Amino acid sequence: MAKGKKHEDAAKSFDRLRLHSDSEAVSLVKSLAKRRFDESVDVVVRLGVDPRKADQMMRGTISLPSGTGKEVRVAVFAQGETATKAREAGADLVGADDLAEQVQGGMTDFDVAIATPDMMPVVGKLGRILGPRGLMPNPKTGTVTNDVERTIEEFKGGKVEYRTDRFANVHVPIGRASFAEADLVKNLRAVLSELHRAKPAASKGKYVKKVVLSSSMGPGVRVDPAEVGADE
């Protein structure tokens, strides 16, 4: 995709190869977010893992201390009393076979899908739709659970999912350009801390190979992994 003039000008305004501290990178990214809307701020981390191997395919959740700055729409596959609790807890969409039918019809207007274990035979049939969008409930991310109230609260409060792509990258949104620098730094450090904690035993050599921070429409700013305590 061709980059616009604003992006090109921003990319020329600093040294793209320099490794910055986390606070320097956040400050720079905020200064480069020039669009009229509140751009998201994202981090991409290249890890020294082989996602083709099951014991190095990473997937989990991270609770961002400063939240995401985004209204998170949650869909819950449940029935009976659990469905009632999900509605009371603020779920945006709640249902069982009826919700599954809507999804099969192409409705994916939600950011997180939660399912009770008894609903997985139904939800499992939606894999071709939910899987490619990263919306498939999974025990590893805590989205297959009977404790739907707590899970809804966590995701609406700033918990985000992560997973390695086929190139061993993890892409995580850490807030908005309007966030205070200190809040973005807290979220960035939380991401790197969790990835370090979850390091697979099978990963050998340099684990955190590259960290790049950017706003949704801005150029990438490199972060020194050692500055955020991620390359120990």
5-15 burial code (b ≥16 CB/10 A, e <16):
eeeeebeeeee
Q: Evaluate whether 166 touches 51 at the Cβ level (below 8 Å).
A: yes
| pLDDT > 80? residue 232 | no
Burial class (CB in 10 A: 0-12, 13-18, 19+), 106: exposed
Q: What are phi and psi of 165, to 5 degrees?
A: -90, -175
Residue pLDDT, tens place only, 102-157 = 999 999 999 999 999 999 999 999 999 999 998 999 998 999 999 999 999 999 99
CA geometry: angle 108, 78, 170, nearest 5 deg: 50
| pLDDT value for 1 | 43
Q: Given this model, what pLDDT does residue 7 score?
A: 66
Q: In what order do the strands lie in the sheet with 208-215?
A: 169-176, 40-47, 208-215, 221-223
CA distances from 161 to 2, 138, 194 (A): 29, 10, 11
Beta-carbon contacts of 176 under 8 Å, excluding residues fewer than 6 positions away, are 38, 39, 40, 41, 69, 70
Where along the chain do the CATH 3.40.50.790 domains lie? 74-157
Query: Tens digit of pLDDT for each residue in 6-61?
Result: 666 666 667 788 999 999 999 999 999 888 899 999 999 999 999 999 999 998 99
The class level of CATH for 74-157 reads alpha beta
User: Dihedral of the CA atoms 55, 56, 57, 60 (nearest 10)?
Assistant: 90
Query: According to CATH, where is 3.30.190.20 located in the chain?
Result: 15-68+160-228
Check residue 35 and give its pLDDT: 81
Contact 157, 67 (CB under 8 A): yes
**CA pseudo-torsion sign 82, 87, 90, 94:** positive
The residues, ordered by sequence, that sit 6+ positions from 27 with a Cβ below 8 Å of its Cβ are 181
Among candidates 69, 91, 72, 70, which has minimal Cα distance to 82? Answer: 91
Query: Kindly report the CA angle at 69 between 123 and 42, in degrees rounded to 5?
Result: 80
CATH 3.30.190.20 fits 15-68+160-228, yes or no: yes
Q: What is the pLDDT of residue 231?
A: 42
What's the pLDDT tens digit per position in 167-209? 999 999 999 999 999 999 999 999 999 999 999 999 988 999 9
Q: What is the mean pLDDT of the chain?
A: 91
Q: Supply the pLDDT for residue 36.
A: 85
Q: Are 60 and 141 in contact (CB under 8 A)?
A: yes
The residue among 141, 139, 151 whose CA lies nearest residue 62 is 141
